[in-house]
Amino acid sequence: MDETTITGTLPNMSVEIRHHSDPDGGAEIMTINLRATPDFQSALPLIGGLGQMSPLFAPMALWGQAMEAWTAPWRQLAEANPLLRLLREQNDRT
């Protein structure tokens, strides 16, 4: 698999997403790098209300929101599929 890199730039933050394969493990790897200049406290107000949070916590909140948005289609699919819903309910009971 070839390496794919996507980059984006905001006024105080650059975002880089890399997708490539692990040559040793046969797995796929996706990394997301956020670089804020001079810091996240300055950059995060531009992309939402996260700038009011602690500078150490804000990047993790941003990551959590990104993962929620990224996995939303799969979670909706799991809710709509009766077999997957049954498996989840059985797993919740144990």
**How does pLDDT run across 40-56, given as a tens digit for each residue?**
666 666 655 544 545 54
Q: What percent of the chain has pLDDT over 70?
A: 77
> Do 10 and 46 meet the contact criterion of CB atoms below 8 Å apart?
yes
pLDDT in tens, 77-87: 777 778 877 87
Quote the pTM value. Answer: 0.44
User: According to the model, what pLDDT value does residue 5 have?
Assistant: 92
Query: How much is the mean pLDDT over the chain?
Result: 77
Taken as a whole, the chain contains a residue count of 94
Calculate the alpha carbon distances from 13 to 59, 83, 90 in Å.
Answer: 12, 43, 44
Calculate the alpha carbon distances from 57 to 44, 51, 62, 71, 90 in Å.
Answer: 11, 10, 9, 21, 35
